[in-house]
Structures are given as C-alpha cells and as structure tokens.
Amino acid sequence: MTEMVYGSVPVRESEPVLPKWWRTIDKWSMSCILILFGVGLLLGLAASPPLAEKNGFQPFHYVQRQAFFGGVAMTVMLVTSMMGPIMVRRLAVIGFIATFIALLGLPFLGTDFGKGATRWYSLGFASVQPSEFLKPAFVIVAAWLMAAAQEINGPPGRLWSFFLAIVIVTILALQPDFGQASLVLFGWGVMYFVAGAPIVLLVGMAGMAVLAGTFAYNNSQHFARRIDGFLSPDIDPRTQLGYATNAIQEGGFFGVGVGEGEVKWSLPDAHTDFIIAVAAEEYGLILVLLILVLYMIIVVRSFFRLMRERDPFIRLAGTGLAAMFGVQAMINMGVAVRLLPAKGMTLPFVSYGGSSLIAGGIAVGMLLAFTRTRPQGEIGDILRGRFR
C-alpha cells in the first residue's frame, strides 16, 4: 500500500567486495610485489641448498619454508588490502600494543641465535622477530597521532609520536639493532616532514642522530666493528662483505649462469641479508636492475597516488609505509655493494625469513589499502578552490 501511495523507493545495491577491490586497487604495485616474491623463490633455489646441506636438511628445505611463509604473506597482503582505512587503523593499534610488549620482553625471553643481538623469540619450529611487525604498526599509530594534531583543538599528536619514536629507537638500539632503529626513525621523520614539520627541527634531529651514532661507536663494540669494516680501504676476502663484493664482480652483466655461482657456499647469510649478491653472480646486472625497477615502481606509484589523497591520516600513513619499504630495500642492496655499513636487514619479499615475509605482507597490504582509488575530489582542485 505504501508503494502504491508514495511510489517505490529505489534501493541501490552496494558493489560486491571483490569487484570493488579489483577496480580500485593499484594493480601495477601488486603485480610488482608478486614478481618480487617469485624472484625470491628463484634465488632461494640457488642460495639455500648449501645451508640446508650444512644443517642436515633436504636440499630445498628452506625454499619450501619460504614458499609456505610467502603464501601466508600474500594471503595476508590481499586480505589487508581489502580493508578500509578505519579497520586498518584499528588492527594496527592492537598490533602495535602487542608487538611493543613483545619487544619489551626480548631481554628476558628472547634469543640471539649466536648473532650477538637478542631480536627473536624461538618457537621451536620457527622464530619471530617482533620489530618486523612493530614497524608498520608504529607507522599507522604515528600517522594517526600526527593527523589528529592537525584538527582544531586536537591533541599534541606530533609530540606524542616523537616520544614514541624515541622510546622504540632506544629499545632497538639496546638489542642492538641499529638497522631497524634507523629505519623506524627515518619513517617517522618522513611522516613528520610531510605533516609540516619545520626544516630546522629536522636538521636538529639529524644532528642528534650523528651524536647518538658517535656515542654508539664509542660504547658498542658491535657498532664500532661494523663502522670500522665499512670505512676500511681494504676488504678482507674472508668476510661476508668480501665474498659479496667478489660475487658481484664475477657476475658482470649477464652472470656466470644458473646454479654456477660460488658465493652461496661461502656466505652464511646468502639466502637472507646478501641475497642480492647471489642474484648478481648467477644472473648478472640484468636481474639486479629488474629488482631495482620493481621496487622503484612500487614506491613511486604509491607516492603519486597518495598525492591525490585528501585524508591527512591516509596520506601520512601511506607515505611512511612506502618510504620505509623503499629505504629498507635500498639499505639491503647498499650494504651488499659496500655503499653502507652492514645492517643485518632483509630485502623485502626476496630474502628468506618468515617474520620478514609476513610482516612485509601486512605492511604492503596496508599500503595497497591506503592507495586504493576512492571517490573524492582531487587535492589540487580543493587547494585551488581555497585561494579563489
């Protein structure tokens, strides 16, 4: 009867989740991630059998584990990329609290696996590195605080995020894990700059970082040993950097051939921190350039899509995630070619490591969620409208 009197009310059905996700996702970035994971499996076939033989496992034991953890990471990435920004933020806050507590418990319950730094929890069948999961969660929390500070009568979010960053960096430096500490500080600094921080403050922070590095050099043998090795004009051919440098030189433009590389038999971390040396030796400069281009596409496309974003939280969080992702790759490859001191940092989606793969899947899933196309006006149109 109501329809007869007032007429029927058209009900617009909402678009199904999967078609909407496929229409709005950055397919180029997602494809590059999948290619990087495939390259990682390919290099794992070459780099991991020597380690498996040394530890008494089947030749492709570590490749199978990488495929399993990578499958979990890809699944987590896809599921996370389907979430809305509010859901991502809620899960990140919960994840930050959990991983921060886990980080505090490392000195009492963690292990160093003989590497001189207590960074992992041993679960028997696997190990977990809390700092890998803390990084993307911290970026989201810091972006939320900075975005809240831009609101009228908002909290002092920038100051709170600064104190939070200093606490996390201090805890990581005490492990010691200077690589992850510098990565967290860099990600926060990029977001703080995008949020409108004065350049004087950032220069002051850079000076503080130099002072902190000087203090660490004078008081940490672990840190001093790596800096001295980096600054030394001569490379000991029996060190990891020596083996990696020689492998890169031997590879040339086209490599020595699939399976013909020798560095994997000498480098204990050939499947993790120095995986790019295996790529350079067996496949040459061609594959290394392909890997560089893939990372560049992901970071550059993410920045361009975020430039059109109106929501300050999404813009800040996405910028922090993209910057941290790109810099981690740059640090890993920079260490291998001796442009940077040794950091003990994996190459995202290429190096072996369950924590690195799954945490990377979460981080990139968040980035894909933030860079999805949303119905909104261009930020440039809005800015031009304000000055008319």
Q: What is the pLDDT along the chain (388 residues), one digit of tens a residue?
A: 444 444 444 444 567 888 899 999 999 999 999 999 999 999 998 888 888 888 888 988 899 999 999 999 999 999 999 999 999 999 999 999 999 999 999 989 988 877 777 888 988 778 899 999 999 999 999 999 999 998 888 899 998 999 999 999 999 988 888 889 989 999 999 999 998 877 777 777 778 778 877 877 787 776 777 777 677 766 766 677 777 888 888 888 888 888 788 888 887 777 888 899 999 999 999 999 999 999 999 999 999 999 989 899 999 999 999 999 999 999 999 988 888 887 778 999 999 988 999 999 999 999 999 999 877 655 555 445 544 4
Pick from 142, 169, 110: which is nearest to 317 by CA? 142
Q: How far apart are CA 257 and CA 17, in angstroms?
A: 45
SS3 43: helix
In the structure encoding, which two tokens stand for residue 336, read together? 């291998």
Q: How far apart are CA 220 and CA 158, in angstroms?
A: 31
Q: Which residue has the tokens 């910028």?
A: 319
Q: How far apart are CA 298 and CA 77, in angstroms?
A: 14
Q: Nearest 5 degrees, angle CA 191-CA 94-CA 184?
A: 30
CB 329 within 8 A of CB 317: no
Residue 254's pLDDT is what?
86
SS3 122: strand
Q: Which residues of 187-213 are buried (b: 16+ CB within 10 A; e: fewer)?
A: bbbbbbebbebeeeeeeebeeebeebe
Residue 125's pLDDT is what?
75
Q: How far apart are CA 201 and CA 187, in angstroms?
A: 16
Residue 143's pLDDT is what?
97
Q: Which helix (H) or strand (E) holds 127?
A: strand 127-128
Q: How far apart are CA 130 and CA 136, in angstroms?
A: 11
Write the DSSP symbol of residue 325.
H
Q: Which residue has the tokens 């281009």?
A: 293
**Distance between alpha carbon 321 and the CA centroid of its chain, in Å?**
7
CB 106 within 8 A of CB 119: yes
Residue 237's pLDDT is what?
64
Helical pair 312-336 and 178-194, crossing angle rounded to 10 deg? 140
DSSP string, 262-303: SGGGT-TTTTTTTHHHHHHHHHHHHHHHHHHHHHHHHHHHHH
**Measured between alpha carbons, how far is residue 141 from residues 87, 103, 134 in Å?**
13, 16, 10
Pick from 260, 269, 270, 246: which is nearest to 338 by CA? 246
- The four Cα atoms 252, 256, 258, 262 give a dihedral, to 10 degrees, of -100
